[in-house]
Amino acid sequence: MQKRKQSLPMKDSIFRAVKVALSKCGFPSIDFFIERSQQGKHGHFATNVALVLTKQLKRNPLEIAREITKNFGKIEGIEKIEIAPPGFINFTLSETILQNEIHVIQQLGNEYGKLSTGDGKTCQVEFVSANPTGPLTVGHGRGAALGDTIARIMEWNGYSVEREYYFNNAGKQMRILGTSVYYRYLQQIGKDVEFPDECYQGDYIREIASKIADQNGRKFEDQPENKIFQDTAENKVFETIKISLRRIGIFHDSFFNENELYEKGKIDDALYGLKKSGYLYEKDGAIWFKATEFGAEKDRVIVRSNGEPTYRLPDIAYHIEKINRNYDVIIDVFGADHSATYPDVLAGLQSLNLSTEHIRVAIHQFVTFTRDGQKVKMSTRKAQFVTLDDLVDLVGSDAVRYFFLMRAMNSHLNFDLALATKQSDENPVFYLQYAHARISNIFLHAEAKNVPFNPECNLSHLTHAEELDLIFILSEFPEIIALCKRTLEPQSLCNYLNKLAAAFHKFYTECKVITDNIPLSQARLLLCAATKQVLSNGLTILGISKPERM
C-alpha cells in the first residue's frame, strides 16, 4: 500500500492562499501570522493579516478581512472561513480531512513527523564536555539530556548528526586529580599523611588509589609525579562518565581531546591568525583580544602573562577545527557559566573571516532540587546525592530526562524530587507513559471482546467533538518537530505531549471505545492507534521509555 503524504492543509497552504488573496485585492505584501486556534469555536487556524494591514490602509480591519475573504480561491480541506472581531480570519477544517489524517499517521508509523529540511545535511552537537576529574554532577545531567534530545530533534528534521564530547585531560585540574590519587594511595599503603584540602575529596579517589595499591603495593610511594596516578584516574573516571551517560540513553559518536590542538599546533595557528588579523595587542605582559570591536564591554586576555592561554584561545582553535570539518550546522550546548564567554569565541572566529552563521549556541541554566517545597542541599552525606548516578538511582532515568527537558533551558530549573517519584497523574512522566499504556490495554480489551483491528476502516464515524479535537492535536506533531528545530527547545515537545495526553484522556472519558457498534469501535481503535503512535514518536525523541502496561 502506498503511503499517503500528510494531507491536512496546514499553515503553509493557508499562508499561500492569503498571499494570493492579498495580490488580488491590490493590498501590499506584509508580514502576518497563521496560527492554530486554541478553542474550537474559533475554527482550527486564524490569521491576523487584516489587523496588520489596518495601519497602512487606514481602514477598519473587519472591512479589510471581508475583502480578503471574497478573494479566496478554494482551499482544499477548508470547510468554513469566518471573520471574528476585531478582524481575525478563522479557518475550519472539514471532518473528512481531519479523519484522513489518522490514516496518514497509521501508514507513516515511526516516520510520522519526520521532516526533510535537513536531508543531505550534516550537524554536529557538542554537549557534556566535562573534563575527566570526577563523576558527572547533576548539573552536567541537564546539559546531557538537552544535548542528546537536540541531536534527536535534528535527526527527526532529516540531518545526519554527530554527537561529540570535548574534554581536556591535562592542565592544573588533572594534575590535582593525580595528586589526589597519590595521597590516597599513600594512605592505602599505611602512610600517615594529611590529605590536602585542595585535592578532590570524593570516595572515587579512594577506590582508584586502592586499586593501584592492591596491584603495586608500595612500589610508587616515593613517585608523586608518576603518570600511573593521573592516567589510572582519568581512565576510571571516563569509564564512569560513559556508564552514567548510558544509564540515561546517551552515547557519543566522537571524543575530542583539547591536547590534540596543542600537539598538532592548532593553538599556535589560531594565535598566529588572530595576530595577523590585527585584533590582538599586548598589555601588562599578556596578549589581549579586541573583543570590544565585536560588541563586548571590554577586551579579553587570551594569553596570560605567564604564557599560558586562557580557555578562549583553545576554544577558538577547536571551533576552527570544527568549521574545517564542513558541518552544515554546529550546535554547542553549554551551561550558564558560558553565557558571558561564548560570544568571545564567536568574535574570534569572525575576526578570522570565518562564518559563524551555522553555529548555534544553546545555554541552559542551573538546577536546584526541592522535596515537599523545601530546597535540598546537595552534599556527600548519606541519603543526599551529588552525582548524576545518584539522581538516576533516586528517581529513574525517564524522570531524570523528562524533568531536565520540561522547562525552557534558559530558565532556572527546580527539580521536584517528590513529584518525580510519584506514581500518579501529578507526575508528568507517569501521565504520558500511562496514556501510552492505557491504549495498549484498550487493544487487549478489544481482542477480548472480539473487535478486530482494521487499519482501513471507515473513519466517517468519528464526528464527536472530542474525537475531532484529538485528531487536530495529533496533526500538530510535525509542526512541533519543526518548531523544536528552529528554537532548539525540547520543552515545546514536552508541552505538546502533555496536551496530547490530556486530549486523549478526555476522549477516553467522553467516548467509549469498545461498543456494540463494531464500525464505530474500529474507527475509535484506529484513532487510539494513531495517538499511541504519536506518543511513541514523541517519547522516542525525548529518550523516554514507552511501557505497554503500568
Q: For 260-291, what is each residue's pLDDT tens digit?
A: 999 999 999 999 999 999 999 999 999 999 99
In the chain, CATH 3.40.50.620 covers 122-165+251-364
Quick one: average pLDDT of 164-173?
90
Dig out the grid coordinates for 120 from the structure.
Answer: 543531505
Give kind and range of the element (H or E) at residue 330. Answer: strand 329-335
More confident residue, 99 or 139: 99
Contact 518, 454 (CB under 8 A): no
In the chain, CATH 3.30.1360.70 covers 11-92
Dig out the grid coordinates for 124 from the structure.
Answer: 554536529
**Tens digit of each residue's pLDDT (9 = 90 or more) over 486-516:** 999 999 999 999 999 999 999 999 999 999 9
> Which is it for strands 367-371 and 34-36: parallel, antiparallel or unpaired?
unpaired
**Tens digit of each residue's pLDDT (9 = 90 or more) over 323-366:** 999 999 999 999 998 988 899 999 999 999 999 999 999 999 99
**Tens digit of each residue's pLDDT (9 = 90 or more) over 54-69:** 999 999 999 999 999 9
| CB neighbour class for 262 (10 Å; exposed up to 12, middle 13-18, buried from 19) | middle
Q: What is the DSSP string of 186-205?
A: HHHTT---PPPTTS--SHHH
Dig out the grid coordinates for 23 from the structure.
Answer: 495580490
Other beta carbons less than 10 A from residue 174's beta carbon:
20
Residue 45 φ/ψ, nearest 5 degrees = -130, 155
d(CA 221, CA 100): 75
CATH for 11-92, among 3.40.30.10, 3.30.830.10, 3.40.50.80, 3.30.1360.70? 3.30.1360.70
Residues 6+ away with beta carbon under 8 Å from 109? 533
For residue 39, the model assigns a pLDDT of: 65
Contact 538, 531 (CB under 8 A): no
Residue 383 has pLDDT above 60, yes or no: no
Closest CA to 350 of 310, 327, 323: 323
Residue 382 has pLDDT above 60, yes or no: no
Contact 487, 363 (CB under 8 A): no
Residue 122 has pLDDT above 90, yes or no: yes
Assign 254 to helix, strand or coil.
Answer: strand
Residue 511 φ/ψ, nearest 5 degrees = -125, 110
Give the fold, CATH level 3, of 99-115+425-542. Answer: Isoleucyl-tRNA Synthetase; Domain 1 (1.10.730)
In the chain, CATH 1.10.730.10 covers 99-115+425-542
d(CA 153, CA 125): 11
Report the alpha-carbon angle 174-176-179, nearest 5: 115
pTM of the model: 0.93
Q: What is the DSSP string of 238-273?
A: HHHHHHHHHHTT---SEEEETHHHHHTTHHHHHHHH
Closest CA to 24 of 73, 77, 57: 73
d(CA 297, CA 302): 16
Closest CA to 132 of 242, 264, 251: 242
> Count of residues for the chain?
550
**Tens digit of each residue's pLDDT (9 = 90 or more) over 456-468:** 999 999 999 999 9
d(CA 541, CA 432): 14
Give the fold, CATH level 3, of 122-165+251-364. Answer: Rossmann fold (3.40.50)
pLDDT confidence band for 373 (50 / 70 / 90): confident
